[in-house]
Structure 1
Amino acid sequence: MALGWEDIRAEVLRRIEARHWAPGTLIPTEEALAEELGCARTTVNRALRDLAAAGLLERRRKAGTRVALHPVRRARFDIPVTRLEIEGRGQSYAFHLIEERRAEPPPAVASLFRSLPGVPLLRLRGLHLADNRPAIYEERWLDPAVLPEPAPDFRRISPNEWLVSHVPWTGGDIVFSAANASPEEADILGCAPGAALFLCERVTEAEGRPITSVRLLHAPGYRLRADL
């Protein structure tokens, strides 16, 4: 059975921890590792990128990949399934789809997706509820190319849960900040206009290609918790 990227990652990590490759050592090329381990070069590339993101490898174009001299632990964030997150707190969950349509994105989003003028993306807006109370307001742009035929029914499953379950991702970007609720957002989340809200803006990619861009506004009282 062909090895997956997680298997390659585990083997590379084993060699690092066993000091087969000491800190600062230039490790074999992707081609050499792929031949030795009997897998595709892209599989090795995925494993090495993951270890580099974790701070265990240093990768430089045309200079190869080395074991980090001073490994740094970096914060890693998994994309949670909102339903499971809410149910894990002992609350009932529901999702209300507010809008689903194909539309030409604004310039900032079009630039992110490298879309041509006039090429539509899928625009999705929805509300996640906990115990029938507003919890998270979601505004999302999605590349329609990732959807199967027939497309999923986002009235039955949230875009968040469908994407996490069906579309592999390899990277992206995430920003946390505070935002004041606009009148429309306040009406959706059941809070006062101008109320301070926790905002998460996330872009998810697969092999460098954006899949989705989402803006998540949490109702007042939300607290972020992460393991170190």
Structure 2
Amino acid sequence: MPDTVRIETAKAETTTFREVMAEIIQRITEGPWGPGSLLPGEVELAEEFGVSRTTMNRALREVSELGFLDRKRKAGTRVRMAPIRQARFEMPLVRAEIEKTGAAYRYQLVSRDVILAPDWLRERMRLKARARVVHLLCLHFADGVAFQLEDRWINAQALPLATEQDFSAVGPNEWLVATVPFSEVEISFLAQAADAQMVAHLGHAPGDPVFCSERATWWQNAAVTLVTLAHRRGYRMTTRY
């Protein structure tokens, strides 16, 4: 008579890693895990919460990235004496910003050129000699009123697909977010005197101070894009973390 093979089916987890995170944070902020406390081991915690070790590891990692825990190999996991606040950056979409206010969004491509990068841009983006770039000037509207002027440069060597896009229907902001990730971001905020383009497209008077943001992104040490965003009069930027 052949041996009987016993097959056991693993019980599905009913607790998510987010629920585990919430409980861990509550124990840190309300007790019993005060500053400097050494947490039980990962296996022990997984058994207590009724989850897999993988789920527990992810929960602990996420709480650590929020700044509450200090995890060291062989030394265990401790509650930080003082939580470290960390800001996570998500690439903003102007369409979402406008529609969030309840306004209707519209996009317009003003100009598109594929050219050799000017000297100042090669230095700024650390491009090679005779590097080609896609230069785009775009307008974003809220309820039919010009909201933002986008002056963008895309490194064609790092992203050759950009030379094949006409950007007439979908703007470079949305296309880049959907096409390429980023590993490094540099952002500057400045007041700039209105130039001819800002006067023509945003309605500023010549020389008016204009709120601008400049953003450069890289992917694995290769420059991807540099953009200057000029805003209409009265624009306010608010951040929260």
- TM-score category by the smaller chain? 0.5 to 0.7
Q: Superposition pairs for residues 1-228 of structure 1, below 5 Å?
A: 51=65, 71-144=83-156, 145-148=158-161, 151-228=164-241
Unaligned runs of 5+ in 1: 1-9, 24-36, 38-46, 59-66
Partner amino acid for 2:228? Answer: R
Partner amino acid for 1:140? Answer: R
What residue number does 1:40 align with?
A: none
Change (3 A) 1:89 1:116: same
Partner amino acid for 2:125? Answer: F
Q: How many pairs align? A: 188
Q: Kindly indicate whether the alpha-carbon contact (under 8 Å) linking 1:171 and 1:205 is maintained by their aligned counterparts in 2.
A: yes
Q: Kindly indicate whether the alpha-carbon contact (under 8 Å) linking 2:68 and 2:80 is maintained by their aligned counterparts in 1.
A: yes
Change (3 A) 1:68 1:107: farther
Partner amino acid for 2:142? Answer: A
What residue number does 1:5 align with?
A: none
Partner amino acid for 2:165? Answer: P
DSSP 3-state at the match of 2:192: strand
CA apart distance, 1:143: 1.5
Unaligned runs of 5+ in 2: 1-17, 29-34, 37-53, 55-60, 71-78
Change (3 A) 1:198 1:122: same
Cα deviation per residue 1:154-181 (whole Å; 9 max; x = unaligned)? 1100000111122111221111121121
Change (3 A) 1:91 1:55: same
Change (3 A) 1:102 1:57: farther
- For 1:155 and 1:79, locate their aligned partners in 2 and report how far apart those are by CA, in whole Å: 21
Q: Kindly indicate whether the alpha-carbon contact (under 8 Å) linking 1:142 and 1:213 is maintained by their aligned counterparts in 2.
A: yes
Question: Which ranges of 4 or more aligned residues in structure 1 deviate by more than 6 Å?
Answer: 16-19, 54-58
DSSP 3-state at the match of 1:148: helix
Matched-pair identity in %: 32
RMSD across aligned positions (CA): 3.5
Give the structure-2-normalised TM-score.
Answer: 0.64
Change (3 A) 1:191 1:142: same
Quick check: which has more Rg, 1 or 2? 2
Partner amino acid for 1:220? Answer: R
Q: Kindly indicate whether the alpha-carbon contact (under 8 Å) linking 1:200 and 1:215 is maintained by their aligned counterparts in 2.
A: yes
